[in-house]
Amino acid sequence: MCSRGLLVSIVLSMFFLVGCSGHPGAGKWAAVVDENQSSIFASITIDFDGKASITPTDSEAPAQNCYWQASAEDSIAIQCGTADQDKGTLFYSLQVEEPNLAVLTMDDQVLGQFKRLP
């Protein structure tokens, strides 16, 4: 009887764990830069726990610490605070175009294209 209860507990635990998968935008992303494209950001890190960071191309500028939430199946809304109180909160969107390619926008303006890092 005890082993049957244990088996049921294990099966139920596996069922609940399977239902919780990561967003396709989660991970580390690097800017795609070539003669046709540039980006003001070098990289984006989207952590599973809801935190994110956006690192500018300019090494003198600090990384932006942010929070994110899924806004669609293939899109993430990113909210970043700034040290400049006049700017307030910055809102970005990361749209996953392909499994390893995403586009960062702000107010419908494309800020850069990013490839997923391994």
pLDDT, the chain, mean: 84
As a whole number of angstroms, the distance between CA 74 and CA 69 comes to 11
Collapsing DSSP to helix, strand or coil, 88 comes out as coil
Using CA of residue 96, residue 97, residue 98, residue 102, what is the dihedral sign?
Answer: negative
List domains and CATH numbers for the chain.
23-116 (2.40.128.210)
State residue 37's pLDDT score: 74
pLDDT higher than threshold 70 for residue 85: no
Q: Can you say how many angstroms the Cα of residue 102 is from the centroid of all Cα atoms in its chain?
A: 10
DSSP category for residue 63: P
Q: Give the three-state DSSP class for 52.
A: strand
SS3 58: coil
Instruction: Give residue 11's pLDDT.
Output: 52
Six-digit token pair at 114?
């990013």
Whether residue 55 has pLDDT greater than 80:
yes
Which token pair is 81? 């605070």
